[in-house]
Chain A
């Protein structure tokens, strides 16, 4: 696979201080079958053009920094191998559905606000002192939310989601899955409080379960499944609201 030794990257470029609109710039880099797209971008930055701007850190698929569109698909560039594209050129763009700050860097402001909105932390009335030891949680109870706790906040699901694309206020797959993760945690008592936020997101009901979010998720979190479960829980909660005053229910 060491044929012809080069591969072309077409990189999305946009600098808000100098560009009125984005453009693409082509770079030819050495082809190494062990390289991921991120390696190639780093090679460009180090050796050809220091102005190419992107985020990255762990290069092992867990810090969530390096999500980009690779040939039109949302990918972690540290896990997208050049050998899967070679000898074709690789087109690299910033994640869609986010404002671009510069080149391959998108603004995360909205995403961070959405994470915050779902109250992603344990809410309890009765907090034990640490001297009383851990809260017991059986492996089965852990299994009920574990999958939804695996999200690395890479935002690929927002780039894949058709609802995010046209409903800016939609909390979106990762945030809803995170809210659901805490709702399903046996140590948590904050479901009502959290559901109030999640249910007020009208766009959640607009999620059509196309499941693109789950398809692109590099950590198999299945946000689409979480949203469907949350909707079911929400419907129960909603109807409970008619039967008894808020706060009395579960």
Chain B
């Protein structure tokens, strides 16, 4: 690879999705004299935040309370969330959401002009802000467009960061990144660094995640010595389209959609999720119950129905039906138009007239880069925010609509703290860091462009496929020691075979085969942390369900797992850190009748179809 000139800034952000852009604005606003670099392997508006549909949670209405949002989040997390972090998150959510409104996000509105909210899974009351069903799209574009106001945000679009650069004292000072257009590897340096690179759903074959969700930032931090926390917790979203894995938003159930099995029966009522109210009942959809239960439980119910032979066979595997027909065309077009568009295009189904076949699909990684409640990692000057980070507010199961809010709250927080860190740092030795970036360029040349690799024998797509199969078979919705052992062994084998990978493309310009190879390396690291962390946690909690250890075990596992990478790439070392419990002692997680709808009258009013969203199509 060519060596490029070094670029120097104050704070370096890796990743240009929601969290990265929010961090960039926080720094640019608070420190007008700072230069902020935003390094992304894609143009920011391509980032995966763009695909989020249903909404973002924040307490704004008089009938809601911060206390309830906190409790919903902690119980939804099966008590694995740090309660101080959840309190901070819930308290900061409303001002962050209002701030985004001030920056132009086109939130759907009530007739009086205030923002509208809708119910979401696991939430006691409707508190999910939405922009029809393209919430992530509007949030990302609003953030991106707002960054254009600030002359001190410098973008490195289509730069693939491949390595963190640390100075002799162990402070993080930037990254080495490949400029895709030229293949040049350059050092992009600053006084602090924030990783905002999103999740790693592409470790699995069937996922809502886009191609770019390959855990690059997680892997970079992991290689630099930071632990990956709670990686065994992988969220399956209960309603993806079979075949493509395209997401059908939870908002479709928030608006009243129901899930039925092959007999047309609302099977969730058989699994402790409450009573199946008639869809015409004004109390439907009931919060924290049935179709508005949490994602982990709904995905697990699907497997139980499948095992009982009550799912529907489709050419793309088993499915259940998401029935929206009773909502009617007008409501579907106003509140969830994208659902109709996606179902029509990709499933050939018009949900106004037919139920949509759906099945659980890998959606979100609860775990991530170990950060404290200030978004700081253990490496001085290195921060992380968004899906790539694990604070943890999501614990063993994230509630739908908390992640979009999370990227605002913790993106802003990481920006503030990283800027503060950078403020009184002395200048650093550029030449040492440049040398590291040059070494990284050499490593890439050696590993992917030398004659050795040309005579290699492994293809990216083959290893990726085998990794996918290993993760789906071994570390899916239900796991046990045997399945996880097989996954761990397979990953070890694939890591060895990876060294023999062959690239057809030996050129510098826009080499997407090289980036695919680097992404596969990230996935192998991240998947290894996932499988080994899952193996070590011999209990069942939230999204981590062990058939051989079916109960939650607070005595031994009310703790975050921390996976530390082994130098030789072998099995990671797993340690545990107790969960921070403040005011909410671990309890039984209940949904359905017990969890209670607080004020049915308010809920029914807010859910009334008069909450116009202003859709024009």
A binds B: yes
A146–B616 CB distance below 8 A: yes
* A145 nearest in chain B by CB position: B106
Q: Which residues of chain A are near B60, meaning CB under 8 Å?
A: 133-134
A139–B613 CB distance below 8 A: yes
A178 → chain B closest CB, angstroms: 8
Q: Which residues of chain B are near A143, meaning CB under 8 Å?
A: 614-616
| B145: Cβ under 8 A from any A Cβ | yes
A18–B507 CB distance below 8 A: yes
| B588: Cβ under 8 A from any A Cβ | no
B107 → chain A closest CB, angstroms: 7
A130–B99 CB distance below 8 A: yes
Q: How far is the CA of A145 from the CA of B504 in the complex (A)?
A: 47
Q: How far is the CA of A57 from the CA of B112 in the complex (A)?
A: 38
Q: A136-B113, A142-B109 are in contact. Are A58 and B48 (CB under 8 A)?
A: yes
B510–A58 CB distance below 8 A: no
Question: Is chain B's interface secondary structure helix, strand, loop, or mixed overall?
Answer: loop
| B456: Cβ under 8 A from any A Cβ | no
A64–B45 CB distance below 8 A: yes
- Interface digits, B537-579 against A, CB 8 Å rule (1 contact, 0 not)? 0000000000000000000000000000000000000000000
* B247 nearest in chain A by CB position: A60
| A34: Cβ under 8 A from any B Cβ | yes
Q: A34-B243, A121-B148, A140-B614 are in contact. Are A63 and B461 (CB under 8 A)?
A: no
- Please pick, from A45, A47, A102, A134, the residue contacting B114 in the complex, using a CB distance under 8 A: A134
Q: How far is the CA of A137 from the CA of B131 in the complex (A)?
A: 13
**Which chain A residues in 38-60 approach chain B with CB under 8 Å?**
45-47, 49-51, 53-60
- Please pick, from A16, A112, A121, the residue contacting B103 in the complex, using a CB distance under 8 A: A121
Q: Which residues of chain A are near B342, meaning CB under 8 Å?
A: 60-61
Q: A59-B210, A116-B148 are in contact. Are A50 and B509 (CB under 8 A)?
A: no
A59–B513 CB distance below 8 A: no
| A4: Cβ under 8 A from any B Cβ | no
A58–B614 CB distance below 8 A: no
A108–B43 CB distance below 8 A: yes
Q: Which residues of chain A are near B258, meaning CB under 8 Å?
A: none
- Please pick, from A57, A102, A115, A136, the residue contacting B210 in the complex, using a CB distance under 8 A: A57
- Interface digits, A125-139 against B, CB 8 Å rule (1 contact, 0 not)? 001101101111111
- Please pick, from B134, B138, B510, the residue contacting A102 in the complex, using a CB distance under 8 A: B510
Q: Which residues of chain B are near A23, meaning CB under 8 Å?
A: none
| A21: Cβ under 8 A from any B Cβ | no
B46–A141 CB distance below 8 A: no
Other than the given A64-B45, A119-B149, A141-B113, 8 more pairs (CB < 8 A) read A17-B509, A51-B505, A53-B511, A63-B45, A121-B104, A134-B102, A138-B113, A146-B615
Closest 10 CB pairs of A and B: A136-B113, A50-B504, A142-B614, A46-B461, A139-B614, A139-B612, A57-B210, A50-B513, A130-B95, A120-B145
A-B contact pairs, 21 of them (CB 8 A): A16-B509, A34-B243, A53-B512, A54-B512, A62-B134, A64-B45, A64-B46, A102-B509, A116-B148, A122-B102, A130-B94, A130-B99, A133-B114, A136-B113, A137-B113, A138-B111, A139-B612, A139-B613, A141-B113, A142-B613, A187-B102
